[in-house]
Amino acid sequence: MIAAGEPAPDFTLRDHDGQQLTLSELRGRKVLLVFYPLDFSPTCTDQLSLYEEVRPEIEARAEILAISVDHSFAHRAFREKLGIEIRLLADFEPKGEVTRAYGAYIERVGHGNRSLVLVDEEGTVEWVHEAETPLEIPGANLIFDALEASPTEP
């Protein structure tokens, strides 16, 4: 897993609407990257539903982007089914390239682990949490603790 203090690997991925997003375009704002295994799995559904409940509080301090190996069409359907507004990014082709760059890809199962990465305003990894298994949902309290400990740029 990538470590705090390292430069966050830049990437360009398509979101649930097929629009491209490049991480470096968000410089000047903190970004919380949420790596998760797959759309429509029960645990991923619970995780993203939980984060949606607290999304306004997170977004007051950081942009939240959720990334999995699913295609943008699956992301759109998943987002609509859950009724969430979190922006979902497709690490689809080459499969898992961004997830691998952050050290969150699990080769034996072909998808990412549940990992959280907080990127600061300059594009440096500030904080990382990696779940022990893809079945463990990192609680929202971890995110709030990381944001609370994070220095705020003037």
Catalogue the active-site residues: 44
DSSP string, 80-131: HHHT--SEEEE-TTTTTHHHHHTT-EETTTTEE--EEEEE-TTSBEEEEEE-
Residue type, 147: L
CA distance 54 to 62: 12
The half-sphere exposure of 148 on its side-chain side, counting CA atoms within 13 A, is 6
Pairing of strands 63-68, 12-15: unpaired
